Structure 1
């Protein structure tokens, strides 16, 4: 993946990785004991901001928000799924910023119970989330958890910034898709089949090879790098 200064690789305690697009900036940091990735999307025209997951270390996440907006504006936190390592800082971040919370409909109650904070927007496959001029599409990827969601941000057709690619998608996948495979499904063949089926039909069959994959842990990848492995993933069953 290309972009000014962007590597897609971060480690806890390391600097923010920043990618600049025509209409958006994407910031990535790693926090917490399991090296969780959090992503801040900033609309370059309006200053509106969206945080993908609030895993841990609220002070670091709030500093990230301020990097994108000196006024510490945060409009929404989208939680990709219910697991504790993706919501540990949610209550603190929301208390400071006033952001509202969005999550997949089938994980929303569990997230609200774990954080003692309501999920104000319950997301379904095909919904959109707007932040300033940016519009992200919700892609439900069932299996890691019932309500896991990914977010797809598409570069505009007239994108002209250095490194921009018109129509390229940036896909924030939580723990549903990583370099080298889909997310864990607890050894359950039904859950695995559901997740691999969704990832195949809703991601690989739809988006181009230059689609960037921004996972919930570790390095970024592209669909083109992962596509040749789909048959091997299916055969190994996890």
Structure 2
């Protein structure tokens, strides 16, 4: 029986979420930045996708193991989410993925410039990329619609327990909340597991009752 909690600490032991087809490994890197990195591994082929090569390339590469690592998805342009990207990409030959609106601001070449609804396959696992604009113009979430259970969603800094990611203007906040409501909450069930870019996990069901409060408070 899985004992996954989703709680990890900087430099601490990774946590492992065992699904029927996918194994999710979560670790915190970057010291006080406490960035989450996630390795998604097809348990049968070993093929992997990494969400955010944030920092500490040696630790990230150790988490990936023998792989092969097929893709590195950078959820957005902020430097604390791609600090290890150059080293990880060079060591593994993985395809680097970012949204078209953020890719030019990431100083590691983007191999695959992504758009809303694009899909990535590694082994027999397929994930969908969802564009969420507001925290940055080109924020991405990664959705695994598990055929054997609830969906799993990696949200970068767009959605956390208790609220959205930081935005710099009322327009950016409205854009992000509109995208999160329409593309995530309106589409996916309450049981959807949410893995954010920092801190502990949550579910859409735990956050859904707060949507009106978030809109009222404007952050």
Same fold by TM-score greater than 0.5:
yes
8 A Cα contact 2:46 2:67, kept in partner: no
Aligned to 2:21: 23
- Report whether the alignment pairs 1:169 with 2:151: yes
Aligned to 1:214: 195
- Report whether the alignment pairs 1:229 with 2:181: no
Instruction: State how far apart, in whole Å, the 2-side matches of 1:5 and 1:14 are.
Output: 16
Instruction: State how far apart, in whole Å, the 2-side matches of 1:228 and 1:12 are.
Output: 30
Provide structure 2 residue ranges, at least 5 long, that are not aligned to the other structure: none
Q: CA deviation at 1:73?
A: 1.9
Match of 2:77 among 79, 82, 98: 82
Match of 2:93 among 93, 98, 111: 98
The 1:81–1:7 alpha-carbon spacing in structure 2 relative to 1, beyond 3 Å, is same
SS at match of 2:11: coil
Write out per-residue CA displacement over residues 13-53 of structure 1, whole angstroms, 9 at most, x where no aligned residue. 11110011111100000000310000000011211100000
Q: If the length of structure 1 is used for normalisation, what is the TM-score?
A: 0.90
Instruction: State how far apart, in whole Å, the 2-side matches of 1:72 and 1:224 are.
Output: 33
Aligned to 1:162: none
Matches within 5 A, 1:127-142: 127-142=118-133
- Report whether the alignment pairs 1:146 with 2:137: yes
Q: If the length of structure 2 is used for normalisation, what is the TM-score?
A: 0.97
**Count of aligned positions:** 218
8 A Cα contact 1:62 1:72, kept in partner: no
Match of 1:12 among 10, 13, 28: 10
SS at match of 2:69: coil
Provide structure 1 residue ranges, at least 5 long, that are not aligned to the other structure: 160-164
Instruction: State how far apart, in whole Å, the 2-side matches of 1:213 and 1:72 are.
Output: 24
Q: CA deviation at 1:72?
A: 4.0
Instruction: State how far apart, in whole Å, the 2-side matches of 1:16 and 1:135 are.
Output: 23
